[in-house]
Structure 1
């Protein structure tokens, strides 16, 4: 059971670490933002408390020192400096390691961790060592005003099932004692008789009168993990130490004799003139909110989502079989039932895919960190701007997308953005810019990585490709085809090998990995203006809406998302095709005869044209017949067919036959791209 809770803690802590990293990047640009500082502090506090609770002792001790540093920051005793931000990024990497391996056993790792811990400790042990550390007059005056302690009434009523979630309330009481001096009163009146007693249920509540010099938010932070698992009231009742007052002792005795429960109102009678109503009301409201809070989201293991999508895929296939049976049977009742099940299946499919979609923002933190770290390493100044981070993609696509994007952004930093002096010479700002832009376009997601660096000279690329023997000297290529040479295996413009790039591998891998998720990648660039790398990706990989067509009595699926129009193609119109271009009405566009592509003779006199879009062009695919719309479960091809570039997968039909799914982008690229661009 404890392993289950530890795993849950690690998963939630990784979310905390991501939030911590994101907050730190924001703080680097706005060092006076108190909300961000508080957000960082609370993330560290959560890691410290959870680490101690679930046996991550090293993590808890390490984050305790970090928490102390940022406690000084939020109280104005320590200013944000470059050294502090860099050290905190180092600390974040160490926290990730603790979450990965637990407490350290390797002696070398312990030495490295201790060295980092000592660097953290020095920030508060001797703040004068750090250049940008200074106290402000405002902070000093606030400290003078807040000198002295206060007493708080705390009513802590855990919910019955709090123990089942791995929380030990006694640890929370220990944390309160660490904040100051406390008098604790427990209440066990709700405990049942022995026969009805459940050992994993909590029947006890506590009243704590705490005297401390800490602010009220420190007390609230103690309960940060259990806000939804208890009823809580925190009220300031006395200016000073109420525990030393004779009236307080008298009140305790009086309540004990009368059986009356001690309350914040009673304690305020010790010194009514200093009682403050506002904190009490605020905490009462907070208590009501805690009771009324509804769970708006749940955490689900990714393998369960994969299983759900697979089951829905199987359901779609079976539903296609039911449709086929209903059509053959012809009974109105069966047909109506089949149509209703089809509607429900489509709704279930859409919901299942919405569940499997996750925002790109979840994965963008590592890109921000990459830009920050590499720009400092290379002594370059770079702004990283994110547009459309809330765009959602299938989690399986995002998993395959991370490495290509990392390589693309690394190339922008290393190859693209110039050194500050060089940029100034060119009349540019010394600080470069990399833009990550994502947006929907039809049933696809477009991602652009744009830099304002030196750009790529197409003539230089062509010369490099010729010198490496990738193309011949007499070749005639369009501008786009020249840029596509960057994706060829072994191509590199870098003369010297560096730690970042220049080994002739990378962009070919990017193209291959993007192609594996049925995506397309292209480059456009202008010398001294910058480079844009564009990715076009499907929203999902598993189930698509397709148009079922027939070519030589074999069925194929064309994704509906790529289709523009359908045209009948009688024999009279076939004569209008000249040089593989057809004129229909006022429209003229190229066509690809799928009979020739698949090397099969036509068996149908009445043909059709399925007009699809490719980039900003329209191209017609000639098929023998159009059968109709079809929900397609896309299955991957086996090893023997994996090299078929124009086929992205296969689908099992209702009658058990197999239909190939056509990748229209690759089909057009392989058959027409050279003709279209010349």
Structure 2
């Protein structure tokens, strides 16, 4: 019993993961449908997503999900058949249905039922049914409608012998592939009634020759239903690769039945027995069969209350009712193609992947230690072996980190719905443009960055982009534009959220900050420093609080979440032209290629991607060795520098020749004065203990091959320390308390 419960739990988790993917596809298809109602394939995609959720939920017995999803699916079928025209009301109704499906799936996940969720299902289901029964002129079909022969099947279903004939032969691997034959039979109850069912015992081998993992199930079913042939066939869509399915209409002719008889029986004796069985089950008209002794019939299983199955998905030409519907070759090709595509992917638990990354990190440290010993021993063969191991470990590291990289476009795509709903709520016409969606980012970052992006989007829509009347009055297009862009730069990923609205009001921000005593009234700030004020807790320039924004809660959370990922955010704005929020994040939080340096007895690591060049310490730095920071001339360009020894209060080493490392963070270049250069180093980043978090410009630590601890520099903090210092700035800005050129030391 314990094993069964564990298997069901794993299967349920897999269903919920798949359902989440289907919900995203469903929502995306609905949003496209709103923009282009004539896109028939997109409408079919929405229907398939809903059908998959309902069908899989039915196999697990999640009746609440099945019942409600069927209502939405039926409305989609009305749109596909042209009975209803796509309009804003129906799209909004389907989007609300998508949200309700998510709520019902969350109940499945938690195992708890909420009466309010059930009430919403009831009321929203009534709205869906009302929308389907609303009188409207027939619209031009957005998808090919069912062929006339299909409609004829329904009207003639009661003719002939009166029952649909369903003949199933499951493959030996059906059970191994997770199929439950009885579940498909029970699912038929949603379309009609199973009158008779007979298990083909000839397919079952003797007990001594039976493999308990093989499936030996073959059944003949007499099914009473007014559904169409395709609706019945779709019940078995999920098992076409593992089951030979044949469906004969009640009015099928003798030739069709004879063809099926020859498929199912090899010799004349077996055919006579099978024909007699069909006759006694009511599957053969009296004129077609010779009456033979009545075989023993297996009673049909008790009906299981499952919601109605999927409405048929129209095809360009329906199969004639008189022919066997045992899946045409084209119909079988699609499932096989999908299965082949799906076989390229495998779901892996996130904690297992994290454990693998941790082990790879320990392997990197061990490899570094082996190289250190090899150099100490001065053994050429040992050094060669250690280097070969190091190369393999580096390749394994890159491969393991690549497993956690996902396209950020999936995160961007979620905002189509947000922009759509908020623009309608605010009465604005706004277009969302996404570029760079294939740029990859560590999955752990994707989950954290989604919330900050949400805040930025809401502020752009509410405060940035003007109403249509104001845009037209100033000569802008009536439709506003919100853009997402992502790209790689210098070992980092850059995410930009920009709009073409009115931009940030520099003077208003400064005035509000002074009114709230966030900065002194005589503070001297450049534009970028002023724009950074919007990230202070409680800061807002909104004249009125709305349901969308305006309370000053959120932008400080944006900055805090981004900085927790060792990233930073910058703001650029042009009055009347729009604003851009630029987020810069490291590619991964786990391991990096680093550049190892030494100051005094302390090792420091910089990301190798930011190192531009290494030079001797310039004369400007040597002129006053006690200065923490200043400027120097690099081939005609004036750059700021920071002496790490003075910055951290470390006594410089006794090395006669110190060095300056020129690093680049985005478009900013600075120099870092260090005592020794130790070269490249594969760095496994480990978090600092809470007691050290107050120390500025540190991103974490790492363990060297010798067992010593090195500190990983946070380039954002280092750049701020070297370039943005003012004695009158408020501490809340996180800037240091002096100007470049001051002779006072900076407190670390």
TM-score between the two structures when normalised by the length of structure 2: 0.80
Provide the residue aligned with 2:555 in structure 1.
507
Partner residue in 1 for 2:3:
none
Does the 8 Å contact 1:21/1:365 carry over to 2?
A: no
CA distance in 2, matches of 1:657, 1:450: 44
Query: Aligned partners of 1:104, 1:293: CA distance in 2, in Å?
Result: 35
On the 8 A contact 2:150/2:228 being kept in 1, the answer is: no
Q: CA 1:184–1:38 in 2, change beyond 3 Å: closer, same or farther?
A: farther
Query: What's the CA shift string for 1:372-417, capped at 9, x where partnerless?
Result: 1121122222111111222211111112111111111111111111
Name the counterpart of 2:127: 119
Q: 1:216 to 1:620 in 2, by over 3 A?
A: farther
- 1:607 Cα deviation after fit: 1.1
Unaligned runs of 5+ residues in structure 2 are 1-6, 158-163, 276-283, 289-318, 726-738, 742-748
Instruction: Tell me which residue corresponds to 1:195.
Output: 208
Distance 1:48 1:57 in 2: 9
Does the 8 Å CA contact 2:246/2:325 hold for their aligned counterparts?
no
Report if the CA contact (8 A) 2:455-2:554 is conserved. yes
What is the distance in 2 between the residues matched to 1:225 and 1:140? 23
**Equivalent position of 1:355 in the other structure:** 403
Aligned to 1:49: 55
Once residues 173 and 118 of structure 1 are traced to their aligned partners in structure 2, the CA distance between those partners, rounded to angstroms, is 29
C-alpha distance 253-426 of structure 1, shift in aligned 2 (>3 A): closer
Could you give the per-residue CA deviations for residues 191-238 of structure 1, whole angstroms, max 9, x where no partner exists? 3321343555312246789999977764564334335x5155679xx9
Q: In the alignment, is residue 257 of structure 1 matched against residue 268 of structure 2?
A: yes
- 1:602 is matched with which residue? 652
- The CA deviation at 1:313 is 1.1
Partner of 1:12: 18
Q: Deviations over 1:128-165 (max 9, x none)?
A: 1xxx7633489999765754129999875544343355
Q: Say yes or no: does 1:170 pair with 2:182.
A: yes
- Hey, what does 1:611 align to over in structure 2? 662
Q: Deviation per CA, 1:291-312, whole angstroms, max 9, x where unpaired?
A: 9778211011111111111111
**What SS class does the counterpart of residue 120 from structure 1 fall into?**
helix
Size of the aligned set, in residue pairs, is 663
For residue 134 of structure 1, the aligned residue among 134, 138, 148 is 138
SS in 2 for 1:385: strand
Cα distance in 2 between the residues matched to 1:114 and 1:121: 11
DSSP-derived class of the 1:226 partner: helix
Contact 2:151–2:228 at 8 Å: present in 1 too? no
Shift of 1:354: 0.6
Q: Give the counterpart of 1:60 among 58, 61, 66.
A: 66
Report how far residue 275 of structure 1 moved.
7.1
2:639 match: secondary structure? strand
Structure 1 partner of 2:278: none
The correspondence for 1:204, drawn from 208, 213, 217, is 217
Alignment check: 8 A CA contact 1:556 1:661 kept:
yes
8 Å CA contact 2:104–2:117 kept in 1: the answer is no
Greater shift in the superposed pair: 347-356 or 186-195: 186-195
Take 1:187 and 1:369, find their aligned partners in 2: how far apart are those partners? 51
SS in 1 for 2:497: strand
Deviation at 1:323, TM superposition (A): 1.4
Single out whichever of 67-76 and 155-164 deviates more from structure 2: 155-164
Instruction: In structure 1, list runs of 5 or more residues that go unmatched.
Output: none
Alignment partners' CA distance in 1, 2:585 and 2:521: 34
Of 297-306 and 208-217, the range deviating more from structure 2: 208-217
| Counterpart position of 2:101 | 95
Aligned match of 2:80: 74
Distance (Å, rounded) in 1 between the aligned partners of 2:138 and 2:636: 74
Query: Residues 320 and 654 of structure 1 are in contact (CA less than 8 Å); yes or no, is this contact kept in structure 2?
Result: yes
Aligned to 1:673: 724
Superimposed CA distance per residue, residues 55-109 of structure 1 (whole angstroms, 9 cap, x where no aligned partner): 2110001111111111111111111111111111111111111111138744333
> Does structure 1 residue 648 correspond to structure 2 residue 648?
no
Partner Cα separation in structure 2 for residue 188 and residue 164 of structure 1: 21
Tell me if structure 1 keeps the 8 A contact 2:541–2:550: yes
Q: Which moved more, 1:404-413 or 1:209-218?
A: 209-218
Name the SS for the 2:239 alignment partner. Answer: coil
Q: Which moved more, 1:497-506 or 1:312-321?
A: 497-506
Distance 2:321 2:697 in 1: 82
The answer to whether the 8 A contact 2:153-2:229 is kept is no
**Superposed CA offset, 1:260-281 (max 9, x none):** 6999xxx9xx999997999744
The equivalences for 1:463-482 within 5 A come to: 463-482=511-530
CA positional deviation for 1:528? 1.7
Determine the C-alpha separation between the residues in 1 that align with 2:463 and 2:620: 55
Which residues of 2 match residues 528-543 of structure 1 at below 5 A?
Answer: 528-543=576-591
CA distance in 1 between partners of 2:145 and 2:14 (Å) = 44
Equivalents in 2 of 1:456, 1:138: separation in Å?
Answer: 44
Structure-2 separation of matches of 1:279 and 1:676: 77
CA positional deviation for 1:507 = 1.4
SS in 2 for 1:532: strand
Structure-1-length-normalised TM-score: 0.88
Q: Cα–Cα, structure 1 residues 287 and 52, in superposed 2: closer, same or farther, change >3 Å? A: closer
Distance in 2, Cα, partners of 1:95 & 1:369: 16
Q: Tell me if the contact between 2:452 and 2:561 (Cα under 8 Å) persists in the aligned partners.
A: yes
1:226 aligns with 2:251: no
Q: Secondary structure at the match of 2:238?
A: coil
CA distance, structure 2, for counterparts of residue 223 and residue 211 of structure 1 = 17
Distance 2:522 2:245 in 1: 82
| 1:296-335 Cα distance to aligned partner (Å, 9 max, x none) | 1101111111111111111111111111222222222221
Partner Cα distance (1:572, 1:110) in 2: 74
Among residues 591, 603, 620, which one is paired with 2:641 in the alignment?
Answer: 591
**2:437–2:486: 8 Å Cα contact kept in structure 1?**
yes
Name which of 366, 376, 382 aligns with 1:318: 366
Deviation readout 1:229-261 (Å, 9 max, x if unpaired): 5155679xx9x7543x34556667785735469
Distance in structure 1 (CA, Å) of the matches to 2:166 and 2:622: 86
Indicate if the aligned counterparts of 1:81 and 1:133 stay in contact, CA closer than 8 A: no
1:149 matched to 2:157? The reply is: no
CA deviations 1:541-570 (Å, max 9, x no partner) are 011111110111321101101111111338
